[in-house]
Amino acid sequence: MARIAQLSTSIINKIAAGEVIERPASVVKELVENSVDAGATRIDVTVEDGGSTLIRIVDNGSGIESDQIEMAVDSHATSKIATAEDLFSVSSLGFRGEALASISEVSNMLIRSRTAENDAGMLLEVHGGRRQPPEPIGCPIGTMIEVRNLFFNTPVRRKYLKTAQTEMGHITEAFTRIAIVHPQIHFSLKHNDRIKHDLPAVDSWKDRIAHFHGRDLAEGLIWVESQDDHVSLAGYVADPSFFRSNTRMQYLFLNQRHIRDRSLQHALGEAYRGLLLHGRYPIVFLKMEMPPEMVDVNVHPTKLEVRFQDGRRLYSQLLSAIRNKFLSTDLTTRVRHGKHDDPGTAPRSQPVEATRKMEFQFGTSQADPAMIGQNSSGLPDSFRRVLDPDQLASGLAMNAPSDSNDRLDDDPFGNPQTAADLPSHTTLGIQIQNRYLVTEDERGMVVIDQHALHERILYEHFRTKVMAGNLETQRLLVPEPVTLTPAEAAAVLENQQQLQKLGIEVEPFGGDTVLVSSYPAMLRRLKIEEMIRHLVEVLLSGKESPDKRDVLDDLLSMMSCKAAVKAGDSLTTEEIKSLLESQHLCQDSHHCPHGRPSALVFSRDELDKRFQRTGI
């Protein structure tokens, strides 16, 4: 074994740099955070070649005292904490005193800074960790930091840099995560002389969100807030008609710091349960404030992950805040064009030329009703075809007052709506194409997916019964054996208790055969074996969520789906009437249990527009 030797400061800093500075975006994050901590009201970021040749941050913050500029690049030197206790009450973004030391070790760095008390500033240059003597220099109040040739002396890191475009993507994301939560600061981001973002200070958070993600999304946001003894939670969640296929648009800020937290992401998924299809993730912008001592931010080098003292309480606070808001909100899918899918993946609907005859016809394709709502707009193709996206956009987006916290308060007729006075479908509906029910309410024309609505009604009905333990079951005179694969049999037997709650009694019967002795009366239309196969499918597909409640819920959704009327089933007038009437018994009659919309509203305004009656 070689002899033990103390590492040099330079090597220590390089190792630390490896942790904190992963790529150019990390530099941007650390430096912009420093500027925010310095109380800047203007922060300009300039980047060249994806940050590999130059990153420059200029701010008008407090500046660094001339005699302290050298210390700023020392490792473990910080003005933000002084004692170990301070570590548990950090309110600034930085506190480790490592960023400048690390960055200056692996680049050519130049710092120029001046405080308001001094007439002149100070300039310090550091080349790969070697400092030049600082020199006085004339400059404005604030700090400018230039980082050139990042990783020039750590070739392995440099080699792993991706294309300028990819690195710029990461930089933009880091920039966005800070800029979006500080609307009071004027930010700009420039790449190779092109301005990518210029964000003058604005009063409202929504305006800042709109800058990054568009007016359309911003106007669809729903305000949520909740106050606990210590924790306050406030922000926006998007209407379920907006979503992403990943969690990247879940902005969570803890005491102004962007964090990532799997448990809170799970809470968001739960809050939107039944409102979004599988594989879709809600969009949220939420700020949490709590006393710094209730959270440990010192568990991750870039402070992206934190540890909460009472994570479970926060989980349920977040979940119930959103759930309660949804219960008092009309989430009926508004007919609007869909710009809200992932950029790049959203199949943009084609604008309809003005001269083309507008046909309001239903598609002749026998598309599976399960596919409805899976296009970007959440609309069946036949509807999408006749909706001119641009016209609708101008109509819908402009109406909403920009400071409205809740788009859904923006009733087209000016009546604020609450759950209590939701419109009722009093008019008799008609069935078309054996799959949709068309009716009206005071907002306009309502088109209902008969299967989705029935499914939702049954789901809520059965859920209530299961919770109360009084679901009707049917005993078999002679128990029926069903033979499965080993994995399937194991899944069924592992979930014996859950299944029992649903009225399904199964026992092992030797080998991979199970014996079924009772089943829920609602599934009497299915053969026993068929029912078990559907169950198995749910049990095996739900592997990633072992949470017991989830399994029960998934099974309930499946059972409701099987028991509900299908698209293609012709309904009698009585059945239509009873279906329309029972929707008021639902907590959420606007989405099927899988999260597809079950009703679409074509407001009178929109119909007027389609018939070009605007202004008449």
Q: In what order do the strands lie in the sheet with 444-449?
A: 333-334, 599-603, 444-449, 436-441, 430-432
Q: Retrieve residue 511's tokens.
A: 């080998």
**Segment contacting Mg ion (CB under 5 A): 1-9, 59-67, 87-95, 282-290?**
87-95
The CB-of-174 to ligand ADP minimum distance in angstroms stands at 15
Nearer to ligand ADP, 79 or 382 (CB): 79
Q: Retrieve residue 219's tokens.
A: 């106007």
The CB-of-373 to ligand ADP minimum distance in angstroms stands at 47
Alpha-carbon gap, residue 332 to 591, rounded angstroms: 8
Buried b (16+ CB within 10 A) or exposed e, 192-216: eeeeebebeeeeebbbbbbbbbebb
* One-character DSSP codes across 40-76: -SEEEEEEEGGGTSEEEEEE-S----GGGHHHHTSTT
Are the C-beta atoms of 539 and 557 separated by less than 8 Å? no
Q: Which of residues 331-390 bind Mg ion (CB under 5 A)?
A: none
Q: What contacts 152, CB < 8 A, 6 or more positions away? A: 106, 107, 108, 128, 158
**Segment contacting Mg ion (CB under 5 A): 66-74, 88-96, 223-231, 256-264?**
88-96
Q: Running DSSP on this structure, what letter comes out for residue 427?
A: S
> With binding defined as CB under 5 A, does residue 99 bind Mg ion?
yes
Question: For the window 140-179, what string marks contact with ligand ADP as x by the rule CB under 6 A?
Answer: ---x------------------------------------
Nearer to ligand ADP, 42 or 501 (CB): 42
The CB-of-98 to ligand ADP minimum distance in angstroms stands at 6
Q: Retrieve residue 183's tokens.
A: 């609307």
Helix (H) or strand (E) holding 449: strand 444-449
The CB-of-22 to Mg ion minimum distance in angstroms stands at 15
- Helix, strand, or coil (residue 531): helix
Which of 341, 450, 447, 337 has the alpha carbon at shortest distance from 385? 337
Nearer to ligand ADP, 79 or 439 (CB): 79
Question: For the window 53-92, what string marks contact with ligand ADP as x by the rule CB under 6 A?
Answer: ------x-xxxx-------x-----xxx------------
> With binding defined as CB under 6 A, does residue 338 bind ligand ADP?
no
The CB-of-103 to ligand ADP minimum distance in angstroms stands at 8
Nearer to ligand ADP, 231 or 254 (CB): 254
Alpha-carbon gap, residue 105 to 8, rounded angstroms: 12
Nearer to ligand ADP, 101 or 506 (CB): 101
> With binding defined as CB under 5 A, does residue 94 bind Mg ion?
yes
Q: In what order do the strands lie in the sheet with 505-508?
A: 473-483, 513-520, 505-508
The CB-of-143 to ligand ADP minimum distance in angstroms stands at 4
The CB-of-30 to Mg ion minimum distance in angstroms stands at 5
Q: How many CB atoms lie within 10 A of CB 394?
A: 12
> With binding defined as CB under 6 A, does residue 99 bind ligand ADP?
yes
> With binding defined as CB under 6 A, does residue 95 bind ligand ADP?
yes
The CB-of-415 to Mg ion minimum distance in angstroms stands at 51
Are the C-beta atoms of 215 and 397 separated by less than 8 Å? yes
Nearer to Mg ion, 102 or 431 (CB): 102
Q: Which of residues 32-71 bind Mg ion (CB under 5 A)?
A: 34
Alpha-carbon gap, residue 175 to 212, rounded angstroms: 11
Binding ligand ADP (rule: CB under 6 A), the pick from 24, 50, 51, 94 is 94
Give residue 183's identity as a one-letter amino acid code.
P
> With binding defined as CB under 6 A, does residue 98 bind ligand ADP?
yes
Question: For the window 17-46, what string marks contact with ligand ADP as x by the rule CB under 6 A?
Answer: -------------x---xx--x--------
Nearer to Mg ion, 179 or 484 (CB): 179
Chain position carrying tokens 């020392």? 74
Site size with Mg ion, rule: CB under 5 A:
3
Alpha-carbon gap, residue 272 to 228, rounded angstroms: 22
Are the C-beta atoms of 106 and 154 separated by less than 8 Å? yes
- Enumerate binding residues for Mg ion (CB under 5 A): 34, 94, 99
- Enumerate binding residues for ligand ADP (CB under 6 A): 30, 34-35, 38, 59, 61-64, 72, 78-80, 94-101, 143
